Amino acid sequence: MKVSVVIPTYNGERTIRRAIESVIAQTAVAEFEILICDDCSRDGTLAISSEYPQCRLFCNREHSGGPNAGRNMGIKHATGEVIAFLDQDDEWLSDKVQNQLKQLNEGYEFIYSPCVKVME
């Protein structure tokens, strides 16, 4: 199964690497594509994202003012059977996708996860 991970971003240089690496570290037996949907960042977000061959970069031509435009752009370009969303400043536990794919294989059509809050 192919999983398209959509990460909307704007000036996410400080956190985007951790988000991307949490996708790469997934234990699920699946093909992953990571769609970085940038909203006219003015920092090093795109340079960091381009370091990862798993990432496909998409850029808005004008600043949209929020992550929903990036999510919609990612959905438009996604090629996976499953679409997952990850914010630029979040990260996934390594078994997140594995657990969710198990639920999908049991017949569920929509799945969400609880969160773990950490103050750094």
What does the pLDDT read at residue 114?
A: 78
What does the pLDDT read at residue 42?
A: 94
* Structural domain contains residue 89: yes
| Ordered per-residue pLDDT tens for the chain, 120 residues | 999 999 999 999 999 999 999 999 999 999 999 999 999 999 999 999 999 999 999 998 888 878 999 999 999 999 999 999 999 999 999 999 999 999 999 998 888 887 777 776
Q: Tell me the CA end-to-end span of the chain in Å, nearest whole number.
A: 35
What does the pLDDT read at residue 84?
A: 96
Looking up residue 43, the CATH number of its domain turns out to be 3.90.550.10
What does the pLDDT read at residue 63?
A: 85
What does the pLDDT read at residue 62?
A: 86
Provide φ and ψ at 68, rounded to 5°.
Answer: -65, -35
* Structural domain contains residue 113: no
* Structural domain contains residue 115: no
